[in-house]
Structure 1
Amino acid sequence: MDLSIVVPLYNEAENVRAVCDEIRAALDPENCRYEILLIDDGSQDGSWDVMRELAGEDSRIRLIRFRRNFGQTAAMAAGFDHARGKVIVPMDGDLQNDPRDISRLVARLKEGYDVVSGWRKKRQDKALSRRLPSVIANRLISRMTGVVLHDYGCTLKAYRREVLDGVNLYGELHRFVPALASQIGARVTEIEVNHRPRNAGVSKYGIDRTLRVILDLLTVRFLLGYATRPLQLFGKWGLLAILLGGVSGLTTLYMKLFEGLNLNRNPLLILTAFLLFSGVQFIALGLLGELVTRTYYEGQGKPVYTIRSKVNFED
């Protein structure tokens, strides 16, 4: 299989047939072997019935149905796990992504990239509730992850299969896949893609999703910088707290010996105790993190490195 198109769906009965028709119209002339994976994320509007009709008409359309609504990240993870293509392209099921851009994304992969992200430069969404929060979030994510993209939130992307094999998704991490892939050495780029207004169905996005993205960004920042060395993060804060506690303690002692100030009247004594205690806790937390990291990697036999290619090695 050359190409897998992964389409998460939640209450998109009005759009799912048109999505599949447009994908087939875009890819049939390309003379490639492809499949369409439709992931029903607990829809309650009859989406599954339409999906079953489509699968009965075309064996290239494969279906996965969740028992309940688990969210877009879980739906995309299921699609990635069951995809058979060498290249995997997720896209939204609301017809706002243009399937004609798929071949352009795949063509860019052939230039040596591992991830090609879509950029909805002319985004057809509400400015205040969707576009403005997206601009702020994209700049924040780019700054914190070091992978600069204009549009992390665009679902339409193209991935080489081997890149996704090393990425585990949960929470709202599907939008951070390019940053997570860069952790294992993937080469990431982006191209402008067409974006269309929604003509049917109801948007599932709200301001609460932006807040969840910000929280997941903290997780991604930790994974990118300290996943294999948590003591480096917590230890430096612990040492800093102990250093400041030492300075505070010496100041307290100086004020007692040379200025005659009673210790029980000096607030620096409380600050000293607080800093020293916090420093010990930070270091202890870092050591516990090291133990968890060792258990995670050694228990699963998971390497702390990834290899792009080998020469003169047997399988």
Structure 2
Amino acid sequence: MTDAASRPLLTVLIPALNEAESIETVVREARDVITASIPQSRFIIIDDGSTDGTAEALGGLMAEDDRIRLIQHPKRSGKSAALRTGMIAARSLWVATMDGDGQDDPRSILDMVAEIDLTTVGDRALVAGWRQNRTDGNSRKFASRFANHLRRSLLNDACPDTACGLKLVVRDLFLAMPFFDALHRYIPAFTRHLGFSYVSVPVVNRARAAGESKYTNLGRAMAGFFDLMGVVWLMRRTHVPAAQLLLGRSADEV
């Protein structure tokens, strides 16, 4: 059995795909910022089948700090799969997520942590980031606004920015959600559906320093429509909020 005293208070998951140019800087900044306030933090980077040396770029940093761990997918499996891999490996009650491209400011995670108690699970089981100054192009902003409006009208999740990579969620709640390739876009909706509440917190969105986006507007729109219809069906077929058993659980019980 794992010694509770050695269990991290927070785990930060960072999915990455072909981010060799920036990943070392991203992880180093996250480590420095977050451990300054939460020393008992750990960091798991999930390399989702990169072909550019992303894993190798982290070699030096991992050698100097055993709080940083790398897990590699043999082939690209998608962001939701990367998050699920990280959640299974995490040992903390709460888990934070951020993207590996440098656009998410890790200082925003500390603002999100201020909204909950890392040692227990209450009614609020998710803190979702809300990008106030999106640096994406106008076409992507328009597509996101349209998708958010359609999703909110069908799912009633009231989330202003469900695709933001910055989230703070109870680990076992995420693992209780039905898994599919686009789950990361519906975490707020399933949080509500399983009987918990969440809050959206303004976060900083920065310009990408290197690399390129892994998504196109057309590809995202086509996949997103079918995903949304699937989520509507899943929610209509899920009637027992078993995840409510997590209420009142403490970090010592993980």
Instruction: Using structure 1 for the length normalisation, give the TM-score.
Output: 0.71
Q: Deviations over 1:266-292 (max 9, x none)?
A: xxxxxxxxxxxxxxxxxxxxxxxxxxx
Tell me how many residue pairs correspond in the alignment.
237
User: Tell me, what secondary structure is at the counterpart of 2:176?
Assistant: coil
Q: Where in structure 2 are the equivalents of 1:192-271 lying within 5 Å?
A: 192-207=202-217, 208-228=219-239
CA distance in 2, matches of 1:162, 1:108: 19
- Please name the residue that 1:169 is paired with: 179
TM-score normalised by L of structure 2 = 0.87
Instruction: Provide the identity percentage.
Output: 32
Question: What's the Cα RMSD here?
Answer: 1.9
Q: 1:3–1:32: 8 Å Cα contact kept in structure 2?
A: no
Higher helix share: 1
1:149 aligns with 159
Deviations 1:201-231 (A, max 9, x none): 1111112022212211111111122335xxx
CA displacement, residues 134-165 of structure 1 (integer Å, 9 cap, x when unaligned): 01111111111111011011010100223223
**Aligned equivalent of 1:113:** 124
Match of 1:150, SS state, is: coil
Q: Who is 1:38 aligned against?
A: 45
1:96 CA displacement: 0.3
Which residue in the other structure is 2:59 paired with? 52
Change (3 A) 1:135 1:43: same
Greater radius of gyration (CA): 1
Letter paired with 2:220:
R
* 1:273 match: none
Pair 185,123 (structure 1): closer, same or farther in 2 beyond 3 Å: same
How far apart are residue 310 of structure 1 and its match?
Answer: 7.2
Tell me by how many angstroms 1:24 deviates.
1.6
In terms of fraction of residues, the more strand-rich structure is 2
Higher relative contact order (CA 8 A, sep 6+): 2
Cα 1:94/1:310, change in 2 over 3 Å: closer
1:307 equivalent to 2:245? Answer yes
Partner of 1:231: none
* Residue matched to 2:169: 159
Give structure 1 stretches of 5+ with no counterpart. 229-302
In the other structure, the counterpart of 2:5 is none
Corresponding residue SS for 1:108: coil
Structure 1 position 13, deviation (Å): 0.4
**8 Å contact 1:88–1:158 — kept in the other structure?**
yes
- Asked whether the equivalents of residues 95 and 196 of structure 1 are also in contact (C-alpha less than 8 Å), the reply is yes
SS state at 1:114 partner: strand
Give, in angstroms, the shift of residue 29 of structure 1. 1.8
Unaligned runs of 5+ in 2: 1-7
